[in-house]
Amino acid sequence: MKALYLAATAMVVLAPAAASAQTVYNTSLQNVTGTFGTSTAATTTDATGTRTTVTGPGPNADANRAYGTPVIGQWYQAAVGAGSTIGITTDYARSGNGSAYFNSTQGDTGKGDLVYNFGAAGASTAIALSSLTSLSFDFYRSSTSTTDPNLAPVLRLGMLKNGVYAGTLVLENVYQNQTTSPVDTWTTLTANLNSGIFWATKDSLGPTFASANGGQKTLAQWIADNGNANLSVYGLEIGIGSGWGGTFFGAVDNVQANFGTALSVNSNFEVQAAAVPEPATWAMMIMGFGLMGASLRRRQATVRFA
């Protein structure tokens, strides 16, 4: 199912960089509902946001995780495992009234991602990793979490090597300074080609073991160690899991990825507030109520004198 994260092509396309943050509302998330292997997904929306919750006995296999439909240029739910809930909610507000919410309560089956694939007009775009100028995201870990204290939401770069799927490069808090994750506070992680430590999820890029020095490198080192290979990025993933154990409650917001003139992503997650009528609309409504009242009075008078 990892292939669902990908769009089909891998060409580099230059496009104007985004000038300001894009507000990503909860109502833009897909209605991921139904059966996925041994798991069942349901998506609900209320005043506190939109959540996709997956239930089931497991086991921890990709076929039992819930996926939205892959799209270009829009965040969607993916790889949501049994016992997990993800969405955009008001639980941990950041830079507004909301953030991307991640919760896991079912041990090793817990996992969940929001995914953003690069491209426009229905065509996927892969961008040279070497063009990245900056990367950052805000994360939050609640003190109610019982999973390993090192663990917190991560940001992943979806990778292609010579046009072939090559897993992801992961920016994770614990591997920056070998420290546990702060709790009940928002923390910002930043990186560029020469700062920030990433580890690989697929051995086609190199060592994948996150605890080994060989699996902890800057992006510039990953590029150098892959020689003349064409390393490109097709999208972003934010998420938690898998195999964390225990429970996790937390969030992500303000995801930014800049690739010079090629592409800029700057996403702020918010909950859509109920629409408030414009003053002119209020005036028309009041006038309408007045006319209805007058009509009712006339009807009552007619009945009275019949």
267 close to 237: Cβ distance less than 8 angstroms:
no
Going by C-beta distance under 8 Å and a sequence separation of 6 or more, which residues neighbour residue 216? Answer: 175, 197, 198, 199, 210
Rounded to whole angstroms, the Cα distance separating 167 from 117 reads 14
Predicted pLDDT of residue 178: 87
What's the pLDDT score for residue 279? 53
Instruction: Look at the domain 2-274 and name its fold.
Output: Jelly Rolls (2.60.120)
Q: Where are the domains of the chain?
A: 2-274, 277-306
Position 209 pLDDT exceeds 90 = no
Residues 73-93 pLDDT 10s: 999 999 999 999 999 999 999
82 near 57, Cβ under 8 Å? yes
- pLDDT-derived band at 108, boundaries 50, 70, 90: confident
Record the pTM.
0.85
How many residues comprise the chain? 306
The average confidence (pLDDT) of the chain is: 86
